[in-house]
Structure 1
């Protein structure tokens, strides 16, 4: 099924971030996390940086992405830097964006900026106060719009479809790897895998993040699927356990205990309930 989901107005997201800068008493912020950059301007490449002040926003990348950003990046200015984004930081341009303000307070994403890059910035940004900040963009991302919820729902729909297709292939002799490949092939018809697909059978099911391997399924196996599709930047994450043939009685008791715990948690879930109480 082909579904058209409208893109978010990126200028609105950037404006919300600029309002946060005022509340946090910051004159600007350097956005380094690629997921945060994608959220703010739509960029999906592997090298980029955003500088947002209270009145302006600029996205920077290198020459490899000059064609890509023409169609992807929205809501802000976009510029190509000839050298490394951090070792040759556009200091003069930032000063102009800040109107020559003395000792500006500039936020940096402490969870997305390496120590080496932080030191590069500190050497170049003389007269600036670099303020480590956490979750400033994440606070915006926590509240989902209708179009974001639609993307998340579509990612889950694709994940469930892939799982149901894989179930038809579950039989003695097929490998975990074969099933994982079938799942990821289906994901790539509509999006991409959100993470490496886990198909773990038999003793491999005891490993929390097992790699799908060459083990062949056999009767009586418990098979755990931990899979998810990423659709237009939004991810699903689904875990299901199935049995090939009649399960061992002890495995069945464990399965039913986990199922009961899940159902009780779902029954207690409502707005305002702390996650730790559900756990």
Structure 2
């Protein structure tokens, strides 16, 4: 993690930005391994601060202890964000411009009146482009799971089986046999004229002889797809 943080701080320094508030949950997971429906990660010159709510406090605190970073549980105090900025002597904050809503941005500005907010784009995404050996191994495993699961589907081709049944065979094989954590998207199985629709929703249509079959599928493994 530290190498990634160092690269981020170098980018911030080049842009004369003191700190970065990360809102993209995938980016937060990439940097810390923390997964939640709500989280923020604040990177300053000297600190890394994970912010989430009470639902995730136990896991967040344990993770932060292991990573030796700070955890702060968000609360309803109207001065919550302002207090953080004062405590860590923050004068300007970079925000992920493509991740923050207008409402969210206006709320931050209102609560941090003396802070200068700076739009940033793709700071972390640029780092993520270059994959580590571990990431490459995960991606290869992900592709392998997809291939093996698809083979299970092909083995079950027979007249009368439905699109939904084949889609379920793929998902069940990926999860229960080969260890996928989920699907990258809803599996599409389409027979005959349905195969002409690129975003077809698998139905109860049955397979007949001499008809085309379209299968669009993918899996998720260790948060990679």
Change (3 A) 1:198 1:77: same
Greater shift in the superposed pair: 201-210 or 111-120: 201-210
- Aligned ranges 1:63-212 → 2 under 5 Å: 63-72=54-63, 74=67, 76-83=69-76, 89-97=80-88, 99=89, 104-189=91-176, 190=179, 191-212=181-202
SS at match of 2:118: strand
* Alignment check: 8 A CA contact 1:41 1:75 kept: no
Q: Provide TM-score, normalisation by structure 1.
A: 0.74
Gaps of 5+ in 1: 1-9, 236-279
Aligned mates of 1:206, 1:63 — CA distance in 2: 47
Of 4, 16, 33, 2:7 maps to 16
Q: Deviations over 1:191-219 (max 9, x none)?
A: 21111111122222222222212111111
Q: SS of the counterpart of 1:181?
A: helix
Q: CA RMSD in A?
A: 1.8
- The answer (yes or no) to whether the contact 2:81–2:111 under 8 Å persists in 1 is no
TM-score by length of 2: 0.91
Judged with a 3 Å threshold, the aligned counterparts in structure 2 of structure 1 residues 80 and 174 are, in CA distance, closer, same or farther, namely same
Which structure's relative contact order is higher, taking Cα pairs within 8 Å and 6+ residues apart? 2
Query: Does residue 1:216 correspond to 2:209, yes or no?
Result: no
Counterpart secondary structure, 2:37:
coil
Quickly say closer, same or farther: Cα 1:121–1:200, change in 2 above 3 A: same
Residues 60 and 81 of structure 1 are in contact (CA less than 8 Å); yes or no, is this contact kept in structure 2?
Answer: yes
How far apart are residue 44 of structure 1 and its match? Answer: 1.4
